[in-house]
Amino acid sequence: MLDGFKKFILRGNVVDMAVGVVVGAAFGSVVTSITKGVLTPLIGAVVHLPNFSEIRFKLRGSEFLIGDVINAVIAFLLIAAAVYFFVVVPINWLLARMHKEEPAAPQTRKCPECLSEIPIQARRCSHCTQLVEVLVA
């Protein structure tokens, strides 16, 4: 039982996924700190607020932290854009280059008499009943 678990853990894709999660978490914390420390104060200066995290209101004793939600949304959008442009687009480009498929062999041909489409291995045209030469594949 433990041998199977060890094989599962040491498979390449599980280890790669674990590394991706750790790097993603670290990247998320960097983007969050950039959002809170640089971008939201910059945007706050434009709209004359010292910091988004200070935007809040109280309702019946409950405090709603609207600024923290704005910070989180900005951080999410930055992370999503970075992952898309720096991971998804390059991977899709590489996969497209690696998996260039040869065009499929034609399945039909033109009848020499009536120019209608007939199967490659047909001996007679189904439209004009003309005998046609059999093509050997």
71 and 33 inside one domain: yes
Residue 137: domain span: 104-137
As a whole number of angstroms, the distance between CA 39 and CA 51 comes to 10
> Residue 89 belongs to a domain with what CATH number?
1.10.1200.120
- Record the pTM: 0.52
94 and 108 inside one domain: no
19 and 41 inside one domain: yes
pLDDT of residue 113 exceeding 80, the answer is yes
Write the pLDDT tens digit of every residue in 52-104. 777 888 999 999 988 888 888 888 888 888 888 888 888 888 888 877 777 77
2 falls within a domain:
no
76 and 135 inside one domain: no
56 and 84 inside one domain: yes
Report yes or no: 123 and 134 within 8 Å, Cβ to Cβ: yes
* Total residue length of the chain: 137
28 and 53 inside one domain: yes
4 falls within a domain:
no
Report yes or no: 127 and 116 within 8 Å, Cβ to Cβ: yes
70 falls within a domain:
yes
117 and 58 inside one domain: no
Q: If pLDDT is split at 50, 70 and 90, which confidence band does 18 have? A: confident
What's at 44, amino acid-wise? G
Q: If pLDDT is split at 50, 70 and 90, which confidence band does 1 have? A: low
